[in-house]
Copies of this chain bind each other. A is one copy, B any other.
Amino acid sequence: MIRAYSSTIIAVPVDQVWERVRDFNGLPNWHPAATDSRIEEGRANGEVGCVRNFALADGSGRIRETLLSLSHTDRTLSYDMLPNGPLPFVNYVARMKFSPITDRDETFAEWWAEFEAGDGQTDHWHKFVENDVFHGGFRALEVSFSERK
């Protein structure tokens, strides 16, 4: 099993970061790998159990993810990835958490995933998730605040 983890500092107050990230259907608003997201079956965005369905920006296919938990109190959310998508991930469950850095009004951001690589390319996918999906996502998240100011 692969355990991926990335953490970083985002130079934006935690309430602003959390408001953007907790918008489960709004992944394309900040993550460059995602585009054209919708919530399936007329459920509400942010309802635990809803499925977001978005396209990968490289055109390789669509990903479907179920919101498993969301906590305003802890600023954390978790989701799984449904099978049969463009990535060879099995039993993929991920979690994000955002904490205030009180002496500088910035955010400590963490992103975890546990999964298996269906094609056996364990090292490749471990690095891909930590670097491209997580770290790249965090940097784009930070930039998304500058662009809109």
Determine if A70 and B70 form an interchain contact, defined as CB atoms under 8 angstroms apart. Answer: yes
User: Looking at chain A, what size class is its interface with the partner chain?
Assistant: 20 to 34
A99–B9 alpha-carbon span in the complex (Å): 12
Residues of B close to A5: CB separation below 8 A: 102
- A104–B93 alpha-carbon span in the complex (Å): 25
Q: Which residues of B contact A43 (CB under 8 A)?
A: 44
Residues on B with C-beta less than 8 A from A100 are: 7
One digit per residue, 1 when the CB lies within 8 angstroms of any chain B CB and 0 when it does not, for chain A 58-87 equals 000000000011111110001000000000
Chain A 77-110: CB-based contact to B (< 8 A → 1; otherwise 0): 0100000000000000100000111111000101
Closest Cβ of chain B to A67, distance in Å, is 9
Given A69-B70, A69-B73: A7 in contact with B103 (beta carbons within 8 A): yes
Give residues in A with beta carbon < 8 Å to B: 1, 5-9, 22, 43-49, 68-74, 78, 93, 99-104, 108, 110, 130, 135
Can you list 18 contacts pairing A with B, beta carbon distance less than 8 Å?
A7-B99, A7-B101, A8-B101, A9-B9, A9-B101, A9-B104, A44-B47, A46-B49, A48-B71, A48-B72, A68-B72, A69-B69, A69-B70, A69-B72, A71-B78, A73-B93, A99-B108, A102-B135
